């Protein structure tokens, strides 16, 4: 025993390491029985790896099914002994004995194979299975007789294994060794000296087995020999070696073979018994032999993978003790009874979708212990997946990518690896790997539409949400996070960011400013959707914003022109008949659509029974005969009103003179304007005295001085002029078809002034209309062959006709005979029509299937008729057939539901948005009308909330909405076509009211009453931060419009109190002292956060006192005294302002009137001409063929919808000079003169008498 201990201590002396590095493989040799922690080798150095690589690559050992004997120290990069290695327990007699494992590294995946050869140490002594052996030997045994001894077994191998035997004593026997084919030795005890039972009946021998280790180890067995009487013939086997084969996994009791030995002796000496004398460990656990029959049977389980063959030593012995031996060699036949074993050495749980092809995902070892084809393994993958499995070396496989990955198509793969052997039947094993595909930013955001178009009503609130753009990104997580960015561009030279903004997260587009339809009608810009990847990907979309018009502009009167001091009047002769055209009021409205439709009404008139105004054209005409009783001065006030909701209007005053001569008109109109304006202004001044006192004083002063200078210059011009004074006559108007704002058509001559070159009129020549007229009664194009006669045909057919309906009937004639005269007719393919023969030479074209006008509204049907002659002759005709529409399609809305926003306090009639439906039918059947379905909102009919334009689908607000009363409502709009019967479809519309800051905060506490003397008491001992009271207020608005802040506006002592900005708490900010007055009044302003903000104020009375009587005496008259003094001051200031204003106004007006009248008398006194402040232009007349008596020059004014009034002008007229008689106001004769006096506008006209 001490020898074994000593041998373990000197093991390191025999330590031999053999290192071999070939293509990633390292081999070591170490002795067995090394202690734990012993060094095997520096693996990092031998593999050429850095120790840091072992750490970063998470180096680990993959042992497989072997015991865990080796450990890897990643800190030092060395292999250490983890558990004591017993070579005999691990490998038995197998040589060489080696431990195989792999070192696995990750990031990237690498593996190295390591082989450690375990060298034998002489740690096992030879061992006999039996401690003693007994022999019965006849004394007549011949010298040289051989006796088989049981072999000893040594677990060590090589030099440390069993080397020799010795027998002691050697008086009668010696040993003879025979080498076997398997390397073992057969031991025979040979008789070398005759036995004599009488001398020695029992012989004891000691058999010693010795190994070759250092120190040597041995084992012994006792041999007991009993000397018998003579038996001179030993048994003899029929064969020296028997061979048998056995399939593994055979059942117990299976007969392998029957051995036979014969003994020629008689009696008991000839009776042979059989036994197994094999010294192989465990052989008797697997086989047994019948001692009488020699049948060798299986008694245990055999496994080809553990042992491929067995050698069994069989002994035959007679009763006389003689024996013979033989060997049975059993070959084990392999059966495919082992599935391939899959060992995952390294796997990746996720991989990027942009990984290149052939990227390694997993490394696995596959082993099948069967032999030949049973051990040949093939691995495949299940399913159609972009992966492949490849064999890298014997028994090792790599799972790699075999194509492009796309996380958007598949974000996870369950990869099933199946490994099958080639045995029959084939056995297989499988393992499933779950692989996540990590996202890469390879998809740009995609908008839901290629372009957007949205509407917003002008005069919107800045910050209003217009609509939302939406883009989606097929990537995941941060790569799919979409941000919206407004692309830099300009609209009319202004950055688009000053028009709209885009919410980066939601894509909501807000209006930055309030839009004006009259300044900009539409604009477009680009919105970029950018994801959160690195680098980010983006896409753009064009957004077009269309501004919708509101009725925010009143009509503008173009004629008659209103000026402060103008006395221009339209003259009506007393001989004027009923319907006489006095003048025409011309106005325009810069709004569009129905907001620009103008109507004219007579608001006031001196004599309402004398004049009327055309509702649509603004023409002022007489409605009865003018007589001598009618006053000369007539003043008409005309109201021009547009058709908007609410409507806007403008007024114009028209002065009309009923007279036949100018002197009569002049005397009557001198003070017309000023008297009226004086009375109107005086009333206005009295009403708004205090508010406009300073402004009116300065204005009146400037106007009076201007009038004075103007009148003085007028008198100077009249005094030096030799021209006659011409009355002013209304212009003649030209309209074309009555499609503009005027309802009637007039024919007037165009007269051009000498300065008409400033009026850019463009004239076009007359155009002719060339009309191409088609014959609707015949649409066929056919050859000039008279043998096809169309008897009846339909040029159109309804789309709902049944199959088999006759479209055309025709008669076909062929003058030939027999087959040459037989005719067949066919129509062109791919049309729902067919040709049928009704009788001899008569054919009908009929419908073959259902028709649909929406798919095809017209068919060109070619009918070809061929005879059966050789060669065949044919004729063809083409028929054009129109498919008439049937109302079989209901209108379809563009969206399944609508949602729109409107800001509260809107103008009634405001356009909210438009629903749109389309009908696939045609003409009247496709004409869509929109109807508001009868529903109720909060018990009120929805028609009192909104209306729908039947033609356009525009939804208007009927009332002004209040967000505090209703926040949203919904209703149904029906789209109905014009068919009979009509078809319809419905859509749900939801209107969301947006809040405006239209409510001021309401103070709940302290409650304000007229005569309240309630005060908050603060003791004089109050410290800093003492809570006096709290102002409580609410705002019925929502959102930021309801966020309230509190501020101290006024205070008796600001250094004593403060108000919390957010909570309204009133606290002391210093120590209260005896010097602080008792009466303290604080004015607190409560302000919301709206735009613009609204506020409320509250007065808080605070008493700084310790007792209530002290407070009561101080606060008795607090409120009333203050209010009394404030009111008294207000009335005194108001009275003083009104009295001063009236005095100054009266003084200025009286002086101005006196000066004006004095100047007028001076002008009339020095002039022989009648005075009227209108001067004639120089005229260029053509022939004066209009409906009015006189020809005048007027400027042409065109309205915003003048595109509907296509004025056509003729060629330039001749320059005819209208000569005026300076002695009267009559018009003189025309003188045809080519004298170009018009080029001198300042030269006077001369007339020869």
pLDDT digits (tens, 9 = 90+) for 186-243: 888 999 988 887 788 899 999 999 998 888 899 999 999 988 767 777 899 999 999 9
pLDDT at 784 exceeding the cut of 60: no
Q: Give the sheet arrangement for strand 633-642, strand by strand.
A: 570-572, 649-658, 633-642, 598-605
- Token pair 């103070």 in the structure block, residue: 1003
State the pLDDT at residue 68: 82
Question: pLDDT-derived band of residue 773, with 50, 70 and 90 as boundaries?
Answer: very low
pLDDT value at position 780?
38
Distance CA 66, CA 720 (A): 134
pLDDT of residue 1135: 65
Decide which of 642 and 1174 is more confident.
Answer: 642
**Is a pLDDT exceeding 90 seen at residue 1161?**
no
pLDDT in tens, 464-497: 999 999 999 999 888 999 999 999 999 988 999 8
Mean pLDDT of 88-101: 84
Instruction: Find, among 108, 58, 63, 106, the residue nearest to 83 by Cα.
Output: 63
Q: Mean pLDDT throughout 268-278?
A: 84
Among the residue ranges 67-71, 80-84, 1097-1101, the one predicted with the least confidence is 67-71
* Model confidence at 838: pLDDT above 80: no
Cα gap 1048→1066, rounded to integer Å: 9
Q: Residue 1246 has what pLDDT?
A: 36
Q: Binning pLDDT at 50, 70 and 90, where does residue 39 land?
A: very high
Which neighbouring-strand residues pair with 994?
903
Least confident of 112-116, 640-644, 1176-1180: 1176-1180
789: which strand partners? 811
SS3 53: helix
Instruction: Using a cut of 0.75, tell me whether the model's pTM lies above it.
Output: no
Residue 911 to residue 906: CA distance in whole angstroms = 10
State yes or no: cis peptide before 535, omega within 30 of 0: yes
Tell me, what's the pLDDT at 723?
43
Q: What is the average pLDDT across 1112-1127?
A: 52
Q: Which residues of 766-777 are buried (b: 16+ CB within 10 A; e: fewer)?
A: eeeeeeeeeeee
Choose between 777 and 54: higher pLDDT. Answer: 54
Which whole-number Å values give the CA distances from 1233 to 98, 1009, 1180, 1210, 1217, in the listed order? Answer: 136, 90, 12, 22, 7
Q: What is the pLDDT of residues 385-440, one digit of tens each?
A: 999 999 887 888 999 999 889 988 898 999 999 999 988 889 999 999 999 999 99
| Cα radius of gyration (the chain) | 62
Q: Which residue in 382, 265, 242 sits closest to 312, CA to CA? A: 242
364-376 average pLDDT score: 88
pLDDT of the residue at 669: 57
Q: Is the pLDDT at 513 greater than 60, yes or no?
A: yes
Q: Among the residues of 588-735, which ranges form H helices?
A: 662-668, 672-687, 693-720
- State the chain's mean pLDDT as an integer: 79
As a whole number, mean pLDDT of residues 434-458 equals 92
Picking from 184, 24, 48, 179, the residue whose alpha carbon sits closest to that of residue 110 is 24
Please determine, for residue 930, whether its predicted confidence score (pLDDT) is greater than 50.
Answer: yes
Instruction: Report pLDDT for 1061.
Output: 92
State the pLDDT confidence band at 323, using cuts at 50, 70 and 90: confident
| pLDDT score at 1156 | 82
Which residues does 411 contact at the CB level (< 8 Å), separation at least 6? 436, 437, 439, 476
Q: Which of 833-837, 1117-1121, 1127-1131 has the lowest mean pLDDT?
A: 1117-1121
What is residue 541's predicted lDDT score, i.e. its pLDDT?
95
Cα–Cα distance for residue pair 958/408, rounded to 1 Å: 50
Q: Is the pLDDT of residue 814 over 90?
A: no
């Amino acid at each position: 025993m001490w020898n074994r201990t000593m041998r373990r201590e000197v093991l390191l002396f025999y330590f031999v390491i053999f290192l071999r590095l070939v293509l990633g493989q390292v081999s070591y040799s170490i002795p067995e029985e090394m202690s734990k922690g012993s060094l095997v080798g520096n693996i990092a150095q031998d593999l050429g790896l850095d120790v840091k690589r072992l750490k970063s690559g998470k180096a680990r050992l993959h042992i497989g099914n072997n015991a865990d004997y080796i450990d890897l120290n990643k800190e030092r990069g060395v292999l250490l002994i983890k558990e004591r290695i017993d070579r005999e327990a691990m490998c038995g007699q197998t040589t060489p004995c080696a431990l195989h494992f792999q070192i696995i590294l990750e990031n990237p995946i690498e593996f190295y194979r390591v082989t450690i050869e375990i060298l034998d140490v002489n740690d096992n002594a030879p061992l006999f299975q039996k401690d003693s052996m007994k022999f019965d030997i006849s004394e007549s045994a011949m010298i040289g007789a051989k006796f088989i001894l049981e072999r000893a077994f040594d677990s060590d191998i090589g030099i440390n294994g069993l080397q020799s035997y010795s027998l002691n004593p050697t008086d009668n026997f010696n040993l003879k060794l025979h080498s076997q084919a398997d390397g073992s030795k057969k031991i025979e005890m040979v008789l070398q000296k005759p036995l004599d039972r009488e001398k020695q009946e029992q012989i004891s021998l000691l058999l010693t087995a010795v190994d070759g280790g250092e120190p040597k180890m041995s084992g012994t067995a006792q041999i007991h020999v009993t000397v018998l009487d003579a038996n001179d013939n030993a048994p003899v086997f029929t064969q020296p070696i028997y061979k048998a084969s056995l399939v593994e996994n055979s059942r117990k009791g299976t007969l392998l073979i029957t051995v036979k030995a014969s003994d020629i002796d008689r009696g008991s000496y000839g009776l042979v018994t059989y036994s197994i004398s094999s010294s192989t460990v465990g052989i008797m656990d697997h086989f047994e032999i019948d001692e009488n029959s020699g049948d060798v049977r299986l008694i245990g389980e055999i496994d080809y993978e553990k042992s491929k063959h067995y050698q069994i030593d069989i002994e035959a012995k007679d009763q006389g003790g003689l024996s013979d031996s033989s060997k049975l060699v059993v070959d084990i036949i392999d059966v495919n009874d082992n599935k391939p074993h899959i060992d995952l050495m390294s796997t990746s749980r996720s991989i990027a979708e942009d990984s290149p092809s052939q990227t390694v995902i997993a490394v696995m070892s596959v082993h099948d212990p069967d032999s030949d084809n049973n051990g040949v393994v093939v691995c495949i993958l299940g399913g159609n997946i972009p992966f492949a499995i490849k064999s890298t070396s014997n028994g090792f496989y790599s799972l790699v990518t075999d194509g492009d990955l796309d996380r958007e198509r598949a974000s996870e793969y369950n990869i099933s690896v199946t490994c099958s052997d080639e045995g029959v039947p084939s056995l297989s094993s499988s393992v499933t790997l779950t692989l996540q595909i990590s996202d890469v930013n390879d998809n740009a955001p995609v908008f839901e539409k290629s372009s957007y178009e949205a509407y917003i009503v002008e005069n919107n609130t800045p910050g209003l949400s217009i609509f939302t753009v939406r883009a989606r990104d097929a990537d995941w997580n941060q790569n799919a996070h979409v941000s919206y960015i407004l692309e830099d561009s300009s609209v009319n030279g202004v950055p688009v960011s000053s028009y709209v903004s885009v919410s980066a997260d939601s894509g909501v587009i807000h209006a930055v400013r309030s839009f004006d339809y009259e300044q900009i009608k539409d604009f477009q810009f680009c919105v970029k959707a950018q994801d959160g990847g690195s680098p980010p990907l983006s896409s753009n979309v064009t957004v077009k914003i269309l501004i919708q018009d509101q009725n925010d502009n009143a009509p503008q009167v173009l004629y008659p022109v209103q000026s402060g001091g103008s006395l221009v009047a339209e003259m009506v002769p007393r001989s004027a008949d009923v319907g006489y055209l006095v003048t025409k009021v011309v106005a325009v409205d810069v709004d569009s659509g129905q907001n620009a439709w103008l109507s004219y009404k007579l608001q006031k008139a001196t004599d309402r029974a004398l004049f009327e105004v055309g509702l649509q054209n603004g023409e002022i005409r007489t409605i009865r005969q003018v007589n001598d009783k009618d006053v000369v001065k007539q003043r008409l006030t005309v109201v021009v009103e547009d058709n908007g909701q609410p409507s806007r209007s403008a007024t114009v005053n028209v002065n009309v003179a009923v007279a036949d001569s100018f002197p009569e008109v002049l005397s009557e109109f001198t003070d017309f304007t000023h008297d009226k304006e004086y009375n109107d202004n005086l009333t206005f001044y009295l009403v708004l005295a205090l508010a406009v006192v300073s402004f009116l004083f300065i204005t009146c002063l400037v106007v009076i001085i201007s009038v004075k200078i103007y009148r003085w210059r007028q008198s100077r011009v009249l005094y030096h002029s030799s021209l006659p004074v011409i009355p002013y006559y209304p212009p003649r108007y030209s309209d074309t078809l009555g499609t503009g704002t005027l309802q009637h058509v007039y024919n007037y001559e165009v007269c051009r002034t000498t300065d008409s070159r400033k009026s850019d009129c463009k004239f076009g020549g007359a155009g002719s209309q060339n009309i191409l007229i088609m014959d609707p009664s015949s649409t066929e194009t056919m050859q000039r062959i008279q043998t096809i006669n169309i008897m009846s045909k339909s040029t159109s057919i309804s789309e709902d006709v049944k199959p088999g309906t006759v479209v055309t009937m025709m008669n076909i004639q062929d003058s030939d005979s027999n087959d040459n005269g037989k005719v067949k007719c066919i129509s062109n393919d791919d049309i729902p029509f067919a040709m049928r023969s009704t009788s001899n030479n008569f054919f009908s074209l009929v419908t073959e299937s259902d028709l649909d006008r929406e798919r095809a509204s017209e068919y060109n049907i070619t009918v070809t008729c061929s005879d059966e002659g050789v060669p065949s002759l044919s004729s063809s005709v083409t028929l054009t057939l129109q498919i008439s529409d049937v109302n079989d399609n209901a209108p379809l809305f563009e969206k399944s539901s609508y949602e729109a926003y409107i800001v509260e306090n809107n103008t009634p009639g405001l356009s909210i948005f438009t629903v749109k439906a389309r009908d696939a039918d045609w003409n009247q059947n496709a004409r869509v009308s929109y109807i508001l379905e009868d529903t109720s909102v909060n018990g009120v009919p929805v028609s009192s909330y909104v209306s729908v334009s039947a033609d356009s689908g525009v939804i208007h607000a009927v009332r002004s909405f209040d967000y505090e009363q209703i926040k949203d409502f919904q209703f149904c709009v029906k789209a109905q076509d014009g068919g009979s019967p009509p078809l319809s479809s419905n859509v749900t519309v939801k209107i969301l009211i947006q809040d405006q800051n239209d409510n001021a905060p309401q103070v709940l506490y302290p409650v304000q009453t007229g005569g309240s003397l309630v005060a908050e008491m603060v003791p004089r001992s109050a410290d800093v931060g003492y809570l006096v009271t709290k102002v409580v207020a609410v705002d019925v608005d929502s959102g930021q419009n309801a966020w309230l802040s509190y501020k101290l506006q006024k205070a008796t002592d600001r250094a004593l109190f403060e108000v919390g900005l957010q909570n309204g708490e009133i606290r002391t900010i210093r120590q209260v002292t005896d010097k602080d007055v008792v009466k303290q009044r604080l004015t607190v302003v409560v302000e919301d956060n709206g735009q613009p903000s609204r506020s409320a104020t509250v007065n808080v009375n605070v008493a700084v006192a310790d007792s209530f009587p002290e407070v009561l005496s101080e606060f008795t008259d607090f409120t009333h005294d203050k209010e009394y003094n404030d009111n008294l001051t207000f009335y005194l200031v108001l009275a003083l302002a009104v009295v001063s204003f009236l005095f100054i106004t009266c003084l200025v007006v009286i002086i101005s009137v006196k000066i004006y009248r004095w100047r007028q008398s001076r002008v009339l006194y020095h002039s022989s001409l009648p005075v009227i402040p209108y001067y004639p232009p120089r005229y260029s007349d053509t022939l004066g063929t209009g409906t009015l008596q006189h020809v005048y020059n007027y400027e042409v004014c065109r309205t915003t919808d003048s595109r509907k009034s296509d004025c056509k002008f003729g060629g330039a007229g001749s320059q005819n000079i209208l000569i005026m008689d300076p002695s009267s106001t009559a018009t003189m004769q025309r003188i045809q003169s080519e004298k170009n006096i018009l080029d001198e506008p300042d030269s006077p006209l001369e007339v020869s008498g």
